[in-house]
Amino acid sequence: MNKLEVRKRVILLEEVFHEGGPKAKVPLRYAAALAVVRNPFAGRYEEDIASFMDELTPLGLELADSLIEVLGGVENIEGYGKGAIVGADGELEHAALWHVPGGLAMRDRLPDGKAIVPSTKKVGGVGARLDVPMTHVKASFVRSHYDAMEVGVSDAPQADELLLALVMSTGPRIHARVGGLAATDIVGEDGLR
């Protein structure tokens, strides 16, 4: 039985030209693809919830594809992350259902997506915001790409909904200069370095 009911989808795009320092030659772009879906487990405890991940998988792929399109192709994407907000009638574990469909969708669509996809989740009311963490797609230890994008939808999540988010970026923080592993020095074998 198909339990996935999408109420709305939202695409957010930010372009950052500077953070108080010199203006970048090419702006850093952040994008988020959000989906507001009905939470089939809202208002009750159910032991077996894992099968819902299978129903979320096609949605994860669609959201990843929309981010790739808005950012101009896979060759432009350097950072990614995911997150979810559960409405008040749900529980935090319902947001955890997004880990596999959201993360694997981005890693599937990005040929260099070897790094773990960072994530966050919370229970929140209508209009709640979420800071979604990001890391470099090839290697988690690239310090210049430790970043986040704040996301939210003004009328979501309602008490019986989930707000699911994928985020991507086109590069490091606009004035990154705190050292660590550089993107140009990634070995790319283990998703860490």
How do the domains of the chain map onto residue ranges?
6-185
How does residue 2 score in pLDDT terms, banded at 50, 70 and 90?
Answer: low
Q: Which two tokens stand for residue 10?
A: 């939202």
With beta carbons less than 8 A apart as the criterion, state whether 77 and 71 touch.
yes
With beta carbons less than 8 A apart as the criterion, state whether 153 and 182 touch.
no
pLDDT at site 1: 42
CATH architecture, domain 6-185: 2-Layer Sandwich (3.30)
Angle, helix 99-109 to helix 52-70, in steps of 10 degrees: 40
What gap in Å lies between CA 134 and CA 72, rounded to an integer?
A: 19
Residue type, 135: T
Per-residue pLDDT tens digits for 76-98? 999 999 999 999 999 999 999 99
Mean pLDDT along residues 170-176: 94
Per-residue pLDDT tens digits for 40-74? 999 999 999 999 999 999 999 999 999 999 999 99
State yes or no: pLDDT of 187 exceeds 70. yes
Per-residue pLDDT tens digits for 130-170? 999 999 999 999 999 999 999 999 999 999 999 999 999 99
What gap in Å lies between CA 31 and CA 108, rounded to an integer?
A: 18
**Pick from 42, 136, 52: which is nearest to 85 by CA?**
42
How many CA atoms within 13 Å lie on the side-chain side of 151? 34
